[in-house]
Chains A and B, each alone.
Chain A
C-alpha cells in the first residue's frame, strides 16, 4: 500500500469541540476512537476500505491510546476477533463489505451472538447494494434476524452516524449482544462534518492488559449452554435492547400536519424521502415535512409500542424499505395485528418495487402513488401526477432524441495491468482447445468475464474458484482451468481450494494471479506482499507454500509475456502428469508499481540521470481496422480514431497517450501473429555522451543510405 493517508490520520487526533470534516467512513473511524475501543479488525472492500487504510496508517495514534488494529485474513477472522468481547469488558469493532463479507463471517457471527458479549461489539457493514455495487445483491438484514444481532441504519449525516457508533456500543453492552451498523455506499463516501469529542483510552488494552482468564461454561456453545443461550437471547437480551432503544430514543418521530397518513422508513433512506417530499412540495429545505415520519435508525429489533403509537390513529402508512425480503413490512404488519390495530392501511412493496435500489426516482414514484391513493386533505393529486410525469417525459424525450441507448462502460483492467495479458493468452489457448471451462474467482481478474475476453464460466465467492472446480472437473472430460488471485488464495483458496485439490488429487490447472496486493479493494497488503514495512515483515511466499503442500507441477511466468503464458497453459493442459498443476502468473499491480516508481523516476530525471521512457504505437498507414488486437486486449489506451487516410472510411486503431509501455500490444501481436503495425518507442531522457554520439551517427548513416528524399524527412 503506497498511498498515504496522512491527512486523514491527522483528523483522528481532533479533540473536544473541534470540527471534523470529511468522509462518512472516516467519521466512523473517529467515532470508534471516541468510544474507547480496545481493538479493531476487518477485511477490506469497498466501501469500508478507507476505515482499514487509515487505521493501518495511524500507528502513532493507536499506540498512544493502546488500541490494537488488525487487518484480518478474511471476514470470518475479523468476526472471530470479536470473541474478545465475550468474556472481557473490551470494546471491539469489525468491518467488512456486506453482504459478501457477512456471508464469510456468519459462522463466527452465529457463535458470537449465541454466546453474547459483555464488552461492546460493533460490526460496521459497508452495504454494497445498488449503483456501483460489484457483488450479488442481497440484504444483510436477514443475518441480523437469524442470529439476533441488532441492526442500526442511521440517517446518513455525520453527526447521526457518529452518535449511532457511540450508542451502538452502549446498546451492545446493555443487551449483551453484538450490534451491526449498516452504511450504504454513498453514506460511506458522503462528505460532511461533526463536532468531535476527545478520544477515549480503553480501560483494558495493550497498555493495561487483562492478565487473568475468565472462564464461563455458559459462553460455550455445547449442551446445555447452547440451549440456554438461545433462550437468553429472547428472554433477556431482546427486552433489554428494546428498553435501551426506547429510552435513548434511537428511533425518531418527526411530526407533520397531515396526521391521517405517515411514512415509516429506514434511517439510511431519510434524505431520499425528504428530497421526494420536497419535490412534491410537502417538505421544506430543512426537512420539516407535512407528512409525519417515523425514522428507524434501528431496523432490528422494531419497538412494537412505537410502531403501534405511530400507526394507530392513521388511515394509511407507507413503509419505505429497501431490499428484499420485506422484513420490516412483514414485521410491522404482524405487530399491528397482534396489537389489534386494524385501522391503517399498510402499504409498502405494493407501491414500491420489491427488488433493487431505492433511487430518488423510485422513492418519488412510491410516495407519489401513496399520496394519490391515500388522498390526504390539502395535497393536490394533479400536482403529484405532474411531478411524476415530468420525469417520465424527460426520459422518453431523451430516448427519442438519442435514437439508441449510449454504450455501457463497465469497469475493466487498468492500463498496464499485469492480469490483462494473462487473459490474452488464455483467450488464444481457449480458441485452440475448442473451449475451456474456466472457474473464476473474486478480484480485478473477474473483469475477464466482460468483453472483450468473455472468459470465465462461474464465480462462487472469494477464494472459492478451485473449490468450485471440484464438481465440474471430474465431469468435464477435459482439464478445467481455475483462476484465483493472491487475495483469494490467502482469503480462503489455500485451504478450501489448494489443500483439498491436492488431497483428492484433482487433475486441474490453477492460475494464481500474483500481483502482490488485494488490488480490487484498494491495493492493501497481503501476507505475500513483497517489500513490506518492517512492522509487517513477512516471510510468507506463495510458491514455497505450494511446494511445501506438495504441488509437483508448478511454473512461474511473467504476466506480460503472452507467448510464454500461453505456452505454460498449453503445457499444463497437455502434460501427462496427474494432479494439480499450478501456474503462478507474476506481475505487480500497475497502480502500486507506478505509485512506487513515479517518485523514483522523477528524482532520477531531476538529478540528470539517464531514464528511458517506453510506450507503444501503431503505424496508422498499416492498420486495416479488423480490431483483432483490441479483442485480445481491451486496454483503455488501445483505441480508435478517425482514419488519416481519406480513402479508408473506417476508423484506425491507435494507442493514446495513456500508454505505459507494458508490452502487451507487442506480445499479443507476436503471439497471435496479428499485424506488423505495432512498434515500441523508447525515449532516452538525459542521454549520455555515448547515446548522443551513437544517435547522431545512426541518423547520418541512415540518411546516407536512405536516399535523398529520405534524408530531409529523417532529420526533421
Chain B
C-alpha cells in the first residue's frame, strides 16, 4: 500500500431536470482533462429531463498523471464530499439530510431560490417547506457555505443556472481547476457558450466576493401613503400600516363610504381586543380580523374581475411577463366561465332569487375565451366594471354584509363573554372560509354556515367553556379548509411509502 497525500477531489452536483446538470458535469470533466488530471463522472440521468431531483458525481485526481490510474468511486460517500453544489435550496437541504455536507471537509455552493415540489404546491393555502431552516443550517453543517440567488443571475446573463453554478463553484476557490480551464471548457461548448460564459463570470464574482453582496429584501414594501385621516386619528400606531392598506384596497374596490364602514367595524373589533388586553401583543386580534375583513369586504364578483382585467397596469404586467419587446403587439385572451350563480350574484335580490331557484339543478355556465385586448372584448368587460356603483344593491353584496354582521356579532358576544383572546382569534379566522370562486366558494360558505348554526350561534355549544369551543371551531375550520382530494393517502402499516390499493365497491 502506497501512502499518498493526494486524494481525489470529490464533487456532487444536485440539480433538477432541465437545469443543465449534465452539461455542468461535462464542463468539469473537460476542464480537468485539459488540466492534465484524471477525472471520472457518473450520473443518474434517468429522470433528469422529467423534472425530478437528480445528481451528478465527479471525482478529479488533481495530480499529474504518473501512468498508474487512481481508483475512483462511482457513488458519493456521506461525509466524503469536498464540494457540494446545489442548483436549488431544497436540493441543498437534501444533500445535508444525506450527510453530503460535513464541517471538516465540505464547501457548499447553492442557490437560494426555490422551485416548489408538487407536494408543496398542491396544498390549499401555504404548504411550503420552511426553507429558511436550510439557510440557517448551511453554515453550521458545512466547512464553508456560499449561498445566493443564482436563478436571478442566470436570468440576468440570459442563460441557464448551470453556468452560474459552475462559476460559483470556481469562485469558491476550492475547485482544483484554473479559471482559464473552466472558461475554455465552456467555450468549447458550442453555440450557447457566450451566454454561459456571462453566467459563469457573474457566479464567479459573487462567490469570490468580488460582486457586492446581494441585499436581502425586507418583507415589507414601502410605507403606504396616508390614505385616510381616520386611520391615524383613531387607531393605535401599530395598526396604521395595515389599515392604510386595507382602506386603500376598499377605496379601490368600492368607495370612501365603504372604507368608512370597514373602519367602523374595526373599531368594534378593537374594543374586544382592548377588553382582552390586546395591547400587550400589538393588537393581534384586531390585525388578523381587520386583515381578513378587508379581504372579505373586497370579495371577487364579476364586476371586480372585469375591473381588474381591464386596468392599464395589467396590460403592462402581461407584456412584461410575456417578454414582449417594444413594437410587438400582445393579444390577451381571458378564460372565463361565469355561471348562473355569478350572474345572480350581481342582480338585486328580487331578480336573483327567482333566477337561483330556476338554476337549481341546472349547472349552466358559459365558457368564454374573451379577447380582452380587442376593442369588443375590452369594452364588454369595461361595461361590466362600470356596474360598480350598483354593487351595493346586488344580492351577493347584501348577503355578504349580513354574514359579516353575524360574524362580528359572534366575535363580540363570545369575546366579551369569555374574555378569551384565543377564542376571539379563532372566530376571526372563520372569515377565511369566504374565498375563491364557484365550487370552492360554495363549499366554504356551507362550512361557515354550519359553524354559525352549530357553534357560534348555538347557546349549548358555549356551555362546556371557551377552551372546548375554541377546539371545536379550530377542528371545523381545518376540516373545511383542507381539500378532500388533498387528504394524505392511506399507508400500508409495514411498507413505509407504499400506498394501499383502495378497493372500490361495485356501483
Contacts and interface: CB of A to CB of B under 8 A. Distances in A.
Given A401-B140, A402-B97, A407-B117, A695 B123 contact: no
Given A364-B77, A398-B96, A621-B308, A670 B126 contact: no
Most chain B C-beta atoms within 10 Å of own C-beta, residue among A274, A290, A636, A711:
A636
Contacts of B97: 395, 398-399, 402, 405-406
Determine which residue in A364, A398, A695, A698 has the highest number of CB atoms from chain B within 10 A of its CB, and name it. A398
Contact of B485 (A360, A399, A631, A692): A631
A575 interface: no
A403 interface: yes
Contact of A411 (B50, B140, B315, B435): B50
B348 interface: no
Interface string A608-651: 00000101010101101111101100101011100001111111
Nearest to B485: A631
A284 B122 contact: no
A647 B435 CA distance: 14
Contacts of A186: 42-44, 57, 74-75
Contacts of B379: 705
Contact of A360 (B53, B76, B119, B436): B76
Given A360-B73, A716-B316, A134 B119 contact: no
Interface in A149-205: 156-157, 185-187, 189-192
A91 to B, nearest CB: 29
Interface in B43-63: 43-47, 49-54, 57, 61
A354 interface: no
Contact of A706 (B77, B294, B310, B505): B310
Contacts of A47: 46
Interface stretch (B321-329, B352-360, B394-402, B455-463): B321-329
A631 B50 CA distance: 18
Given A627-B122, A648-B295, A284 B436 contact: no
Contacts of A289: 1
Contacts, number: 387
Interface stretch (A116-124, A331-339, A488-496, A678-686): A678-686
Given A271-B73, A636-B51, A407 B119 contact: yes
A275 B90 contact: no
Contacts of B70: 285-287
A687 B326 CA distance: 11
Nearest to A615: B322
B492 to A, nearest CB: 15
Contact of B246 (A408, A628, A647): A647
A710 interface: yes
A435 interface: yes
Interface in B20-40: 25, 29, 33, 39-40
B2 A284 contact: yes
Q: Which interface class (under 10, 10 to 19, 20 to 34, 35 or more) fits B?
A: 35 or more
Contacts of A290: 1
Interface string B294-307: 11000010000100
B322 A401 contact: no
B405 interface: no
Interface string A399-425: 101111111111111110000000000
B361 interface: no
B92 to A, nearest CB: 9
A391 interface: yes
Interface stretch (A449-457, A551-559, A576-584): A449-457
A398 B4 contact: no
Given A187-B74, A676-B334, A627 B124 contact: yes
Interface of A: 21, 46-47, 128, 131-134, 156-157, 185-187, 189-192, 257, 270-272, 274-276, 278-279, 282-290, 359-361, 364, 390-391, 394-395, 397-399, 401-415, 431, 433-435, 437, 444, 447, 450-452, 454, 457-458, 476-478, 563, 591, 613, 615, 617, 619, 621-622, 624-628, 630-631, 634, 636, 638-640, 645-651, 657-658, 665-666, 669-670, 673-676, 678-685, 687, 691-692, 694-695, 698, 701-702, 705-706, 709-716
14 contacts: A191-B41, A271-B71, A361-B99, A406-B93, A409-B90, A409-B117, A411-B52, A447-B50, A617-B321, A640-B121, A647-B295, A650-B125, A705-B379, A709-B312
Given A457-B501, A705-B382, 13 more contacts: A271-B72, A285-B70, A401-B141, A407-B90, A411-B50, A626-B436, A630-B121, A647-B291, A674-B337, A680-B333, A691-B329, A705-B378, A713-B315
